[in-house]
Structure 1
């Protein structure tokens, strides 16, 4: 298995690829609206068929007919199919055989024309009566009517070269084709414009189907699916970009990676892959439709580019803000690499200075702040250690990760800081809130008492005390909460919190 997906451009939702989306919608509509109900109806009729007398009359004859045709064709897939049907007949899996027979247009047409069970047969009268009752109940053959028919005696119906590209054999078949239709289609729609892109898509599907009709003529089976048209888009895509090196995501069996290749190189690679798969005997996939689509798409784009100028879309240039962000990220990575190298050399002081520079670029990056703090704590009297602690303590308390780092760092800072901690009342208040929200009430109260002793209280102090006291009450620490009443009566005697706590204490 080989898959290569281009990554050169992204769809613009300011000018959506409406034709590509419309094609996807039509394919989904046909499958969900017609093909799925048809398959369900066939399943229901298979159950009814098993309950009738027809299996004993028709299925042994059908299996023998398939075996005879397999012997004449000498193709391995036909022999395998005949063997599977014989095993199913032996196991009395009549429902599965009926569904196979329902899709076998050649046998079914001969059966209904009395060419299998003939009028002179002793079983004919009973079979004909049962068949006449059963046939009108069978669903219309929508999928087979609009698919390509590769039987030797199939009528020439070129309309199916187009209609089969909107049919699919399963939901997985549909989803896979639609993903690749979008991946290649939106870029080509940007390059060609909606009308020309639609014409090229339809012509690509017709070309793929015509090539498949030639290669599979007389081999039997049905051809359906958008993969031929999608392959045409792939051929158009690589001719559009020619030798420009564009990024691809590729997968080869279980190995996958990114690479930047000249686009046109992918055309012979894809074509060779389809040809090899065909020669290896892949019977369930129309590899020749894919090959025909690739060739048709390449020729179409080459002709279009001879007639008019077509600009291949390129990745949008980054905005000034994006470019600035990318530059900042690059500088941040360089500083982080340098600081880690200094740390490995045990040069903690120098590493702390580099981490401090990194923190100016990313002041809320927890990885940077933690690394700065850890490096600086080896010199607990340094300005860098105190600055790292303050930077951590200033983080927003809305995020649990911030609060956890603040709690951990404060305990280290309290233990190691020299000659003493350097924390402003505003920072103390921030820490009180973090400790309360983390449920660390003992430390929160110690910090709150240090804050209350400040000569000037920071803005929002009463709100912080409200948070602390409510948390204590909710956790069943009413006595601890009431112990704050004297402080509130001294520092905020007229506040609603003071009156509320006083009322709670007296109650």
Structure 2
């Protein structure tokens, strides 16, 4: 049974670049770095068979498997023993050699027991030939170089193992899950923190695998632990919110909604159960469990500091926002059509709280306020709309709004000196000297001597530049009189 979260859809207008980069990195490593493994392995098999090492090791391997079954209770080894015997009977030398060489635990067993297993001449031959194969080929395989080997743990392999994979099926499955989970977590955390959290989850997953496989020489490869970390972060980010999950059971699939965090113990429990009861499948269940716990734990521990979810993450996507805006705007316009002005005003105000960038909403609120020019709301909306026009570089609209207010609302709620001064500066930039003089007169009536004097000086200089002597003289005289 497969259960994965499916709450979000990707927004290709803002691609998840880090997730796509991780996918590309894994593919490039698999194709160009790990691509040479098959040739190295073929060469190792050729030398292994030409040295007749399979004749020496095969009887020892059967004895080794029988000991694992009898003394360590590893019942999963029974099937391996049967398959190995079948390969010997059918003289499948190539696959026989692969089995013998790639079982790293068996190789350690041979090193420890070679004096008991073989006579001196056989032992010397084995040691000489096997050492060459190990050094020239097997140790140069990607999994042995950069994979995570619990018995020989290195700090750098806690990172490098996350980018290696064991085959096409392994990498394709991992990258699909990386994409499905990664774009959501990247959107929630931001690219930089997401990348660090991804790598940390992979490292912690590797440490948990090492703790349960202490002394093992079997290398761990793959992004599964890191991806499990993404799963843990995903459900921890949503917490108790109900989100949509996709599940697949046999040939049947469907969706269901449940609190996100409720699935975490289910996933962890399944991985631990499989670790104890699924047998030797080659799947690192404890690495998965470690990744799940690490991902959720990081968000819970650092969710209010370094790993805090970005505020815009929980906002609806643009398409959904547009649909909500269109619906709300239609309702407000319908209220206007029915002349229910108070209701329309409340509806436009509610819309503006959620969509402050929608200029049309401010215009509607301005026109509604204009119905009562005697109230302070009209003055406030006028100032807002004037500032909005300036921010959008529409000085002509700003001047038109000011002119309209002078005729309708100035006698009830006068504008401040700063408002008229802003109009004066805008008028001068637009070379509208008539509006500038009018703004000066309004500014003078506010009683702000400092702004009035500065405005008078600017007008005098502007008229002098234009060689309009009478006007310039008039404002110079006003300056002297002041």
TM-score (norm 1): 0.57
In 2 relative to 1, CA 258–315 (structure 1 residues): closer, same or farther, beyond 3 Å? farther
| 1:101 maps to 2:107 | no
The answer on whether the counterparts of 1:242 and 1:263 sit within 8 Å (CA) in structure 2 is: yes
In 2 relative to 1, CA 324–49 (structure 1 residues): closer, same or farther, beyond 3 Å? same
Secondary structure at 1:251 match in 2: strand
| 1:295 maps to 2:293 | yes
Residue 304 of structure 1 corresponds to 302
The answer on whether the counterparts of 1:9 and 1:313 sit within 8 Å (CA) in structure 2 is: no
Residue 474 of structure 2 corresponds to none
The answer on whether the counterparts of 2:68 and 2:74 sit within 8 Å (CA) in structure 1 is: no
Shift of 1:20: 0.8
Distance, in Å, in 2 between the alignment partners of 1:34 and 1:94 is: 28
Unaligned runs of 5+ in 1: 327-507
Residue 12 of structure 1 corresponds to 11
The answer on whether the counterparts of 1:250 and 1:257 sit within 8 Å (CA) in structure 2 is: yes
Secondary structure at 1:115 match in 2: helix
Q: Which moved more, 1:300-309 or 1:223-232?
A: 300-309
Shift of 1:315: 4.5
Distance, in Å, in 1 between the alignment partners of 2:84 and 2:4 is: 37
Q: Which moved more, 1:89-98 or 1:106-115?
A: 106-115
Distance, in Å, in 1 between the alignment partners of 2:276 and 2:166 is: 22
Residue 21 of structure 2 corresponds to 22
Residue 141 of structure 2 corresponds to 141
What pairs up with 1:68-467 in 2 under 5 angstroms? 68-108=67-107, 115=114, 121-124=120-123, 138=137, 140-150=140-150, 154-218=151-215, 221-284=218-281, 285-307=283-305, 309-310=308-309, 311=311, 312-318=313-319
Distance, in Å, in 1 between the alignment partners of 2:237 and 2:73 is: 43
The answer on whether the counterparts of 2:105 and 2:218 sit within 8 Å (CA) in structure 1 is: no
The answer on whether the counterparts of 1:49 and 1:95 sit within 8 Å (CA) in structure 2 is: no
In 2 relative to 1, CA 94–269 (structure 1 residues): closer, same or farther, beyond 3 Å? same
User: Could you give the per-residue CA deviations for residues 21-52 of structure 1, whole angstroms, max 9, x where no partner exists?
Assistant: 11111111222222232034313542554354
Secondary structure at 2:253 match in 1: strand
The answer on whether the counterparts of 1:248 and 1:260 sit within 8 Å (CA) in structure 2 is: yes
Shift of 1:322: 6.5
Distance, in Å, in 2 between the alignment partners of 1:17 and 1:294 is: 22
Shift of 1:219: 5.9
User: Could you give the per-residue CA deviations for residues 450-485 of structure 1, whole angstroms, max 9, x where no partner exists?
Assistant: xxxxxxxxxxxxxxxxxxxxxxxxxxxxxxxxxxxx
Shift of 1:119: 8.6
Unaligned runs of 5+ in 2: 328-482
Distance, in Å, in 2 between the alignment partners of 1:9 and 1:256 is: 18
Shift of 1:240: 0.6
How many residue pairs get aligned? The number is 323
Secondary structure at 2:152 match in 1: coil
Distance, in Å, in 1 between the alignment partners of 2:85 and 2:267 is: 38
Distance, in Å, in 1 between the alignment partners of 2:33 and 2:72 is: 33
Distance, in Å, in 1 between the alignment partners of 2:113 and 2:212 is: 32
Distance, in Å, in 1 between the alignment partners of 2:128 and 2:186 is: 56
Residue 477 of structure 2 corresponds to none
Alpha carbon RMSD of aligned pairs, Å? 3.2
Shift of 1:166: 1.6
Distance, in Å, in 1 between the alignment partners of 2:16 and 2:192 is: 12
Distance, in Å, in 1 between the alignment partners of 2:221 and 2:197 is: 19
User: Could you give the per-residue CA deviations for residues 111-138 of structure 1, whole angstroms, max 9, x where no partner exists?
Assistant: 5799368895343565567657766663
Secondary structure at 2:304 match in 1: helix
The answer on whether the counterparts of 1:9 and 1:315 sit within 8 Å (CA) in structure 2 is: no
